[in-house]
Amino acid sequence: MSDPATRLPRFSPAERWAHRSIAILTGILLITSAFLYLPELGGLIGNRQVVRVIHEIAGFALPVPILLALFSRAFRDDTGRLNRFRPSDWTWLRSRDRRSGRIAVGKFNAGQKLNAAFTLGAIIVMFMTGTLMFFSSRFPDALRTGATFVHDWLAIAVLIVVLGHIYMAFNDATARAGMRTGEVPLSWAEREHGAWAQELAPSPAVEPEVWVGDD
């Protein structure tokens, strides 16, 4: 049994700052896009142009936290972990008792890896299509129309994934605290990320018993 008071470092300050910054910018983008594309909400805003400018600034700023966080070694190490799918990850995805602790996964489970891959891909595509829309006069109509189509539909997919991410986070208070403080209890890590817990806090070696015979 592990000591419940023992805590493991999970996220560095750079990682927590990047996560928080991306979350804030994404929230701004989703809210402003709703006011821009839904007439019912757009009518509540007196100056639509201000909302558009806020949306554009947040969109161009979205990749910045990732680029700055790349200066952190801890962030780069974790991007490598997120980019590596192992056999245990496939097993985790197929198992109904994936959260029981039976499958010893690494620092990130398969769901977190898929979410990270989608998020990075969405940021890249949204940034590119948004740039085409911002400089629309420099591109042909067909390219501008295609960029708008992809941008709008991907925004809906992002909203669904973000809501799912929030739902999962609210179901795990320890995981939320880990992102907020950077530390998690060893007992939680052993249950949710057994291989990673073993990597950081390996079980003490059991000393061999010494048999002493009769004199």
83-92, 94-103, 112-121: least confidently modelled range: 94-103
Position 207 scores a pLDDT of: 47
- Gap between the Cα atoms of 116 and 165, Å rounded: 11
The contacts of residue 28 (CB under 8 Å, 6+ apart) are: 54, 55, 58
- Gap between the Cα atoms of 157 and 73, Å rounded: 31
In degrees rounded to 5, what are phi and psi of residue 28? Answer: -60, -45
pLDDT tops 90 at residue 22 = yes
Q: Are 68 and 13 in contact (CB under 8 A)?
A: no
Residue carrying structure tokens 């998020």: 119
User: Would the CA dihedral through 159, 121, 99, 16 be positive or negative?
Assistant: negative
Element counts in the chain: helices (H) and strands (E): 11, 2
Q: Which tokens sit at 37?
A: 């594309």
| Closest C-alpha to 135, from 147, 153, 120 | 147
Confidence of residue 166 (pLDDT cuts 50, 70, 90): very high
Position 209 scores a pLDDT of: 44
pLDDT tops 80 at residue 126 = yes
Q: Are 198 and 104 in contact (CB under 8 A)?
A: yes
b (16+ CB within 10 A) / e for 51-64: beebbbebbeebbe
> What average pLDDT does range 134-148 have in this prediction?
90
Cα dihedral 167, 168, 170, 175 in deg (nearest 10): -160
Position 202 scores a pLDDT of: 60
Helices 73-82 and 13-37: angle between axes, nearest 10 degrees: 70
Cα→Cα distances 15→76, 182, 183, Å:
10, 9, 12
- Gap between the Cα atoms of 71 and 64, Å rounded: 12
pTM, entire model: 0.84
pLDDT tops 80 at residue 154 = yes
Residue carrying structure tokens 């992002």: 158
